[in-house]
Chains A and B, each alone.
Chain A
Amino acid sequence: MTSIAEHLDPTGVALPTETMIINIGPVHPAMHGTVRILAALDGERIVDADVQPGYLHRGFEKECENVTWAQVFPFTDRLNYVSPILNNVGYAMAVEKLLGLKVPERAEYIRVVAGELARVGDHLTCLAAMGMELGAMTVFLYCIRARDRIYDRLEELTGARVTHAYCRIGGVKEDTPEGWAERVLGDFDEIRGALDDVERLLLKNRIFMDRTQGVGVVSREDAISWGWTGPCGRASGVDYDVRKDHPYGVYGRLDFDVPVMDTGDCYARFYVRLVEMHQSLRIIDQALAQMQPGPVLCEEHRVVLPPKREVYNTIEGMIRHFKLIVDGIRVPAGEAYAFIEGGNGELGFYVVSDGTGLPVKVRCRPPCFIIISHMGNMIRGHSVADIVPIFGSLNMIGGECDR
């Protein structure tokens, strides 16, 4: 019997190859937004890729130009819909900058607490999705269970689980309910438990490490040139966190650390998010301890709606309410750019006003749009299977990327 080696071509098996273009998305088994990747493949290696966003372009800016300043808040909720409070805070800060308005201290603390809860929810979702896409379904369920607790707390505070519209220009909608702070602190055990479980299940897991370490490496120079901020930037060594470098609200009084790694791969991006969640819980702890009773909306009559008792019983209150709702807040003409640390990076709002109650422009500076703009270059040279951890670690939120 002849051995198979005799039948093989001694010069090596020569197969004709040409690059094949395949289409990945916009419907693909990833819980994250809809994005289409056209990949030119040589075997399994990606030679070139064209990332096409825009499948969730909902006309945020155009809608904002046709509603009053206060009516923009629901639209901002749906930008980064995994951490909606942060978008509300960013937009409110931009308009307050134009108005020159000072927000009461309790409102600042509540914004910080709710914002950090939203950030924990954002990172939990990212870890959950990343785990699930790499096959770790348990991680998904643990993180979603912990996130449900956060939704419960935010529902008690704002009235809605996902799209809160909680901030107002001049503060927040209403004060925290009775016993809310204790319930939030009580949930920390569950959240920390979930984070410990994720750490034990994934961080030293051979499969996870092989799939994420060394994959999707982004150098510090590239990260800066492409404008990366937030956890993705910090995983590449860009030591920039808006809360530390340009403290806003009451972040200057709170003590927390910012994790920065220099490997720049998917594992680093995952790990940075995990550590950031622990720091967010630290921030919430301190903020709840430092919070003092007080008003949550500033007293400026031309901006803030009067209390209902006044609206129904006094004519001035009714007229004020009517003018603010129908005409909108008269914001002085000018432009302002305010930025906060969103879940994915520097979330900025550039607002332009012409003195009327409707904005001229409300521009959201979307961190994940900037991050995904580099993705086409990043995945070159990787195999198709590497797209999954790369895309998962970048945490693209369709509402923010496409607006």
Chain B
Amino acid sequence: MSKAALEAIKKKFSSELLSEHAQHGDETLVVKKEKLVQIAEFSRDDAELAFDVLVDLTVVDYLIEGRTPRFEVVLHLRSTSKKHRLRLKVPLEEGAPKVPSVVGVWKSATWMEREAYDMYGVVFEGHPDLRRILLYPEFEGHPLRKDYPMARRQPLYRRPERQGDVWEQKHILSGPAAGDHFKGTYDLDR
């Protein structure tokens, strides 16, 4: 990306900029969440930047590393005409992580934000239809958070006649945490 273009966005939103880096050639800006939509609109509409495609939107959970803030929303942007790329990161506190939705700027965010909500519990304010997408509505919790154990099952259907199986009842079904399927090697509470 041209230096001038990057400087333009850094200058315009210097109050929102928390940090930046260009590790491995990927230019990254870490910004505050309040003016995310304005930053998004500027990057799309500015002639030098012209980021008209939101390539990817995801969330990273830094609970194990112990970093605060715990969550970070990561947006990857691409320009069809200028062929450059940018990564925007928005740190979010734990608690009730909320961030403005960029659906109005790039339509591809529609389902990606729904998935981020489904997996991490991050609420995207202004999203027209924020509901679970990959999991079923009866699911409780947000599985990609680091404190959700990988093997905790929430079965949606169970075959009726199997409840009579003595071995299964003794070893699996009557565990202290109802819903945990495997204990031991698969209970990876990392």
Interface residues of A (CB under 8 A from B): 52-54, 57, 59, 61-63, 65-66, 97-98, 100, 222, 224-227, 238, 240, 245-246, 334-337, 339, 346, 348, 350, 352, 354, 360-361, 363, 365, 369-370, 372-374, 402-403
Contacts and interface: CB of A to CB of B under 8 A. Distances in A.
A94 to B, nearest CB: 10
Contacts of B135: 54, 57
11 contacts: A53-B133, A97-B24, A222-B107, A240-B80, A335-B23, A337-B26, A348-B55, A348-B56, A352-B60, A363-B58, A403-B134
A53 B134 contact: yes
B106 to A, nearest CB: 6
B83 interface: yes
A66 B188 contact: yes
Interface residues of B, number: 39
Nearest to B72: A352
Contacts of B42: none
A342 to B, nearest CB: 13
Given A66-B188, A348-B76, A365-B56, 9 more contacts: A54-B132, A57-B135, A62-B150, A245-B83, A348-B55, A348-B56, A350-B58, A350-B76, A361-B61
B170 interface: no
Contacts of A54: 132-136
B60 A374 contact: no
A373 B111 contact: yes
Given A54-B134, A226-B108, A365 B188 contact: no
Nearest to B83: A245
Contact of B24 (A336, A360, A369): A336
A59 B150 contact: yes
A346 B55 CA distance: 9
A185 B150 CA distance: 45
Contact of A226 (B28, B58, B107, B144): B107
A360 B53 CA distance: 26
A76 to B, nearest CB: 16
B144 A61 contact: yes
B110 interface: yes
Contact of B53 (A57, A227, A350): A227
B134 A373 contact: no
Highest count of chain B CB atoms <10 Å: which of A335, A348, A374: A335
B56 A363 contact: yes
Interface of B: 23-24, 26, 28, 52-56, 58, 60-62, 64-65, 74, 76, 80, 83, 87, 106-108, 110-112, 115, 119, 132-136, 143-144, 146, 150, 188, 190
B107 to A, nearest CB: 5
Contacts, number: 97
Contact of A365 (B28, B52, B55): B55
Nearest to A334: B23
A360 B106 contact: no
A360 B60 contact: yes
Contacts of A334: 23-24
Contacts of A350: 56, 58, 74, 76
**Which 8 pairs show the lowest CB-CB distances between chains A and B?**
A227-B108, A373-B111, A54-B134, A57-B134, A365-B56, A225-B107, A226-B107, A363-B58
B26 A370 contact: no
Contacts of A363: 56, 58
B65 to A, nearest CB: 5
Contacts of B110: 373
Contact of B26 (A336, A346, A369, A374): A336
Contacts of A339: 55
B134 A238 contact: no
Contacts of A337: 26, 56, 76, 87
Contacts of A372: 111
A61 B60 CA distance: 11
B80 A224 contact: yes
A357 B87 CA distance: 25
A354 B64 contact: yes
Contacts of A52: 133
B65 A360 contact: yes
A221 to B, nearest CB: 9
A403 B143 CA distance: 13
A63 B56 contact: no
Contacts of B134: 53-54, 57, 402-403
Contact of B55 (A59, A222, A227, A245): A227
B190 A62 contact: no
Given A360-B62, A361-B60, A62 B111 contact: no
